[in-house]
Structures are given as C-alpha cells and as structure tokens.
C-alpha cells in the first residue's frame, strides 16, 4: 500500500466553510479550546444535527451498541461488524509517528470553524487476501479523545473495512456519511433511507 506524506491544512479565520482534502478514513478534528472529535461527528454538529451517543461507558461497548442500531435494518452486516469488533484489540498497533503517514484516500471536508486542524487517528491496513488486518492508532490523538469519540472512530473503521473488502480503491467520504447516519438517524422515521445507504456499501 502506497503511503504519502500528510500535509496539515489549517483553517485561518475564513467567514465561509473551509474546504480541503484528506487522505485517510480515521481522522479527528482539533479546534482551539474544544475537545478533539471524530471528523464525521464534527461535520454532523456543523450541520446542526443532533448526535445520539451510546449510553454505555467503555468505547468498545459503545461501539457494539452503535452496531446494534445497524442490526435493526441489516442483521448480517451487524454480525460481521461485531465479529470484527471482537478482534479489534488483537489487531491494534500503536504508532507514535502516525501523523506522518496516510494512504491515498481522498475526501472533502466542510467545517465552519476557525483555528482548527485535522489529525490522523487511525490508519487501517486492510490486506485480508494475505491475512493482514491492522489498525495503526496514533496515541497522541487517541488518548485525548473521550469514549464516545473513540467509539465513533472504531465504528468508522468497521464500516470502512466492509467497504474496502468490496472495493479496495474506495475512499472514506462515503464511510463518514454512513457513520454519521448511525449516530443521528431516527430509524423509525428514516428506516428506508438508512437501508438504502447500507445497501450501497
């Protein structure tokens, strides 16, 4: 897998939405005087969406709880995600210098914030054809996130893994949309929209 040097892009007091390109799925947003958040959560809040976090306490149980929302519309997919979640800890690799690397995974971001920058939290190494599945985690990002944001990043990687195994050339923009829907959708009112989104994976 080809790696590129990650170039940080800062938001500098723009009155309109800042736009730039990212090159990996597991990103977070760090803004001045604000807690660090998973990118799609920050994007959702920027859109004025209400985020529904899990009431569980630990990030892995929170992630499992989020997967249960998917189970209400796609049990097979949820079972697959829970299996992968059970393997999560054995597939983690801590990478203190992870900020320097990212796969070629482009997607645009729009945030109406100033004094913010994007930091890479997780790089997924998905080469299951060769028996390799790893999640490289940046401890400098991970250790400053609360359990809800960690769970959001974990779910992002599970959804992304699903997509990568079908299409190795896919990017994470679509994954962020799905993850944000899991965190915001009222499944009773938006069930069809959510099913259509999952089927697109």
Element housing 160 (H / E) = helix 147-166
DSSP state of 104: S
**Residue 117: per-residue pLDDT:** 82
What is this structure's pTM? 0.82
Distance spanning both ends of the chain, measured CA to CA: 22
| Highest mean pLDDT (candidates 16-20, 21-25, 151-155) | 151-155
Taken in order 6, 197, 125, 83, the sign of the CA dihedral is: positive
Mean pLDDT of 84-111: 77
> What does residue 107 show for φ and ψ, rounded to 5 degrees?
-170, 140
**Residue 6: per-residue pLDDT:** 30
DSSP state of 17: -
Q: Which two tokens stand for residue 158?
A: 């599970």
**pLDDT tens profile 43-94:** 898 888 999 999 999 999 999 999 999 988 889 999 999 999 999 999 999 9
**Residues facing residue 149 across a β-bridge:** none
């Amino acid at each position: 897998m080809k790696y590129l040097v990650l170039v940080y892009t800062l938001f500098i007091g723009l009155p309109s939405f800042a736009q730039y390109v990212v090159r990996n799925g597991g990103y977070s947003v760090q803004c001045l005087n604000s807690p660090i958040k998973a990118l799609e959560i920050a994007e959702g809040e920027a859109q004025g969406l209400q985020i529904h976090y899990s009431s569980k306490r630990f990030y892995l149980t929170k992630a499992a709880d989020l997967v249960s929302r998917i189970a209400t519309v796609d049990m097979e997919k949820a079972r697959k995600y829970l299996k992968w979640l059970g393997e999560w800890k054995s597939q983690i690799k801590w990478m203190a210098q992870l900020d320097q690397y990212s796969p070629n995974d482009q997607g645009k971001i729009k945030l109406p914030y100033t004094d913010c920058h994007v930091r890479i939290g997780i790089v997924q190494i998905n080469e299951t054809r060769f028996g390799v599945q790893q999640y490289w985690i940046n401890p400098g990002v991970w250790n400053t996130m609360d359990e809800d944001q960690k769970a959001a990043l974990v779910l992002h990687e599970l959804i992304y893994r699903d997509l990568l195994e079908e299409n190795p050339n896919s990017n994470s923009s679509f994954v962020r949309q799905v993850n944000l829907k899991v965190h915001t959708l009222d499944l009773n009112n938006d069930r069809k929209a959510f099913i259509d989104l999952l089927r697109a994976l």
